[in-house]
């Protein structure tokens, strides 16, 4: 690599020594619209109540299956999407973090909304003043998964990399050209690449151009959205080594989003495991790989071909549930190999079980949920209702689900169901810096 660019200290955020970004109760729902009038009939809960901190200078790995919400979360943190509720906070000192957490930990009717609003105005990225927002946009950049689609095919490299500098009036003319050359040299390219179009480069070179563009304004924080998943293995290693070198050179902080556990293990100081919009486990990288606590994390590690895992009990059955109607309690319980009756069985689980039996729901007239754990299924005839009740009470239904059932009876042409209610699962500590959302460790109730 060539001579390095000296980061401009005036562009750095005035945060405390540890915290850089704080995510609190972040949710992002996408409406489901149906009919001619496009009425909203439900929501896809892509991210649902996520909270964590990103410390200065560290790399936080964000992993999970496709559809778990990790890319949506990354886009909300980068300010490319507005959250449905909750928020992303930037530039908070320790006192502000403590005061915000103290208020959010209170019941809604006891919170000091004025204090929360004051903190939101100063630090929450979707509520801060325009000048503060511009500072955040300079300090937070994104490198996307598909470098080809994220680069304008009609622009030359000098225009792509130089655009942030022109927008923020950092350089123009000859100074801009030389700054772009410096950026390209720092990612392994050079002056000879200035006047070429993206299609004239390989995949790895295009990703280097994306990284150069992200570095143009000397950011402090970069969201890396699967930056190597579309690249060959040898090129992946080059890009990962480049990112590591740049982190040391510019004192960068990364949110590294990936489904590749091997890459995450190589890059990350801490790892967040997501499943169906929520955090399943969070902890230091070495602890996650050496002593995973959540069954989902164990299953992800078992699915990694680089690890020799022969225990069939952690193979995942079935598919990921519908994110518009996620399971209650622990969202992983429908596929968990160690599930128990207190994991959160409900009416939706009964419907999922019946759907796998095919004909049993052919004549279902209505499914009325009084609560997620209490409801009734209406059929045309009593015989159909009795067949469904018999199926739900048979050995074909998981034993923990049968034990969680407090009421299963036929009334005329309806099946009435009631399951033991539980709170939504939240993460709790299982070590100094290790948290998991598993009933085996936190009892299944919120603090």
Q: What is the mean pLDDT of each run of 10 residues along the chain (447 residues)?
A: 38 54 96 91 94 95 92 96 95 92 93 94 94 92 91 95 93 94 95 95 94 95 92 88 93 94 90 95 93 91 68 67 90 91 93 81 88 93 92 91 94 94 89 89 53
Fold of 345-419: Gyrase A; domain 2 (3.30.1360)
Ordered by start, the domain boundaries in the chain are 9-268, 345-419
Res 311: pLDDT:
54
Quick one: three-class SS letters along the chain?
CCCCCCCCHHHCCCCCCCEEEEEEEEEEEEEEEECCCCEEEEEEEEEEEEEEEEECCCEEEEECCCCCCHHHHHHHHCCCCCCCEEEEEECCCHHHHHHHHHHHCCCHHHCCHHHHHHHHHHHECCCCCHHHHHHHHHHEEEECCCHHHHCCCCCCHHHHHHHHHHHCCCCCHHHHHHHHHHHHHHCCCCHHHCCCCHHHCCHHHHHHHHHHHHHCCCCCEEEEECCCCCCCHHHHHHHHHHHHHHHHHHCCEEEEECCCHHHHHHHCCEEEEEECCEEEEEEEHHHHHHCCCCHHHHHHHHCCCCCCCCCHHHCCCCCCCCCCCCCCCCCCCCCCCCCCHHHCCCHHHHHHHHHCCCHHHCCEEEEEEEECCEEEEEECCHHHHHHHHHHHCCCCCCHHHHHHEEEEEEECCEEEEEECCCCCCCCEECCCCCEECCHHHHCCCCC
Fold of 9-268: Rossmann fold (3.40.50)
Res 9: pLDDT:
37
């Amino acid at each position: 690599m060539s001579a390095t660019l000296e980061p401009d200290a005036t562009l750095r955020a005035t945060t405390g020594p540890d915290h850089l970004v704080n995510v609190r109760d972040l949710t992002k729902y996408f409406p489901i619209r149906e009919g001619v009038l496009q009425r909203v009939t439900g929501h896809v809960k892509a991210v649902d109540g996520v909270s964590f901190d990103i410390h200065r200078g560290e790399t936080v790995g964000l992993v999970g299956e496709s559809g778990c919400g990790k890319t949506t979360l990354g886009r909300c943190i980068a300010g490319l999407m507005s959250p449905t509720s909750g928020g992303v906070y930037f530039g908070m000192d320790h006192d502000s973090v403590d005061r915000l957490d103290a208020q959010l930990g209170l019941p809604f009717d006891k919170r000091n909304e004025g204090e929360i609003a004051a903190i939101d105005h100063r630090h929450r990225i979707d509520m801060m003043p325009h000048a503060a927002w511009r500072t955040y946009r300079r300090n937070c950049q994104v490198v996307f998964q598909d470098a080809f689609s994220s680069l304008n095919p009609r622009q030359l490299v000098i225009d792509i990399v130089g655009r942030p500098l022109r927008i923020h009036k950092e350089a123009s003319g000859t100074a801009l050209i030389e700054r772009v050359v410096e950026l390209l040299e720092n990612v392994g390219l050079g002056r000879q690449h200035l006047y070429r179009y993206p299609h004239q480069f390989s995949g790895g070179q295009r990703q280097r151009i994306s990284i150069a563009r992200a570095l143009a304004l000397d950011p402090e924080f970069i969201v890396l959205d699967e930056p190597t998943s579309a690249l060959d293995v040898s090129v992946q290693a080059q890009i990962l080594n480049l990112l590591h070198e740049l982190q040391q050179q510019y004192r960068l902080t990364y949110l590294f989003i990936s489904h590749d556990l091997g890459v995450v293990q190589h890059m990350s100081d801490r790892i967040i495991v997501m499943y169906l919009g929520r955090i399943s486990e969070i902890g230091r990288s070495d602890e996650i790989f050496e002593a995973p606590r959540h069954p989902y994390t164990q299953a992800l590690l078992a699915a990694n071909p680089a690890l020799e895992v022969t225990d069939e009990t952690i193979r995942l059955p079935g598919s990921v549930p519908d994110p518009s109607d996620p399971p209650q309690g622990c969202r992983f319980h429908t596929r968990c190999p160690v599930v128990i009756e207190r994991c959160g069985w409900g009416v939706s689980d009964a419907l999922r079980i019946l759907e796998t039996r095919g004909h049993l729901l052919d004549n279902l007239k209505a499914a009325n949920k009084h609560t997620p754990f209490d409801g009734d299924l209406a059929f045309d005839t009593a015989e159909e209702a009795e067949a469904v009740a018999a199926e739900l009470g048979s050995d074909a239904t998981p034993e923990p689900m049968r034990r969680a059932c407090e009421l299963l009876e036929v009334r005329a042409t309806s099946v009435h169901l009631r399951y033991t209610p539980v709170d939504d699962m939240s993460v709790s500590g299982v070590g100094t810096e290790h948290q998991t959302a598993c009933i085996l460790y936190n009892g299944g109730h919120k603090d």
